[in-house]
Amino acid sequence: DAGVIQSPRHEVTEMGQEVTLRCKPISGHNSLFWYRQTMMRGLELLIYFNNNVPIDDSGMPEDRFSAKMPNASFSTLKIQPSEPRDSAVYFCASSLVGGGIDEQFFGPGTRLTVL
Amino acid sequence: SQQGEEDPQALSIQEGENATMNCSYKTSINNLQWYRQNSGRGLVHLILIRSNEREKHSGRLRVTLDTSKKSSSLLITASRAADTASYFCATEEEYGNKLVFGAGTILRVKS
């Protein structure tokens, strides 16, 4: 298996532009997580899906952020409009969740820079 | 919000020495996990210990869990330069069904 795949790996955009980050989880996993990592705030959970349904989006910073999971093999995180403070590394992770949260497999991340 | 708090924030040791990192948390948990992150990479799962376990081993890794003190420690024995990375603890809260990560410990192993 190729692991969790994220694209793009790097994104540089200007303030006000729309940004779309993409994630392909590991086949067979039923849960998908979006995280944001910055020096100041560390690793923050933004949203997670179970069986393609958003379960907890309490970490989504504001209405400019939205996430979708149209099927078991694809998810997007969209920021519209983007702001410089959104600059961070965004990770997608997937897991096979049964009775609880076990090991999460992380993608390589997307480094976002908003100018 | 961060549940786990790692200590120390940074650790520098010589190759061959042991490295110990600690994690404290605040609420009841189902399990506690340790992850490693190499610079510029995603996190990699190292080991999971459940709330009813006290100690677990995996290769050169030893993890302990003290639920009465709400703390865990990760010991890496006979460290190698390749162990240089950031190490994070993550807790699955008893009623949360999600992982909450600490701020991490930066480990540097000098050869």
CB contact under 8 Å between B98 and A56, yes or no, is yes
Phi, psi at residue A29, to the nearest 5°? -75, 145
* B101 close contact with A: CB closer than 8 A: yes
> Based on the number of CB atoms within 10 Å of its own CB, is A106 exposed (0-12), middle (13-18) or buried (19 or more)?
buried
Q: Is the pLDDT of residue B61 over 90?
A: yes
- In the prediction, which pLDDT does B3 show? 57
Q: What is the pLDDT of residue B1?
A: 40
Give mean pLDDT, residues A65-93. 97
pLDDT, tens digit (0-9, with 9 covering 90-100), for A100-109: 667 899 999 9
- Cα(B95)–Cα(A16) distance, integer angstroms: 38
* Dist. CA A68–CA A33, nearest whole Å: 11
Q: Are B12 and B81 within 8 A, CB to CB?
A: no
A contacts of B99 (beta carbons < 8 Å): 33, 45, 101, 104
With an 8 Å Cβ cutoff, is B88 touching chain A?
Answer: yes
- C-alpha B75/C-alpha B98 separation (Å) is 25
How long, in residues, is chain A?
Answer: 115
The pLDDT value given to residue B2: 45
Place of tokens 């920021």: A79
Over residues A16-47, the pLDDT tens digits come to 999 999 999 999 999 999 999 999 889 999 99
The end-to-end CA distance of chain B, in Å, is 36
The pLDDT, as a whole number, for residue A101 is 63
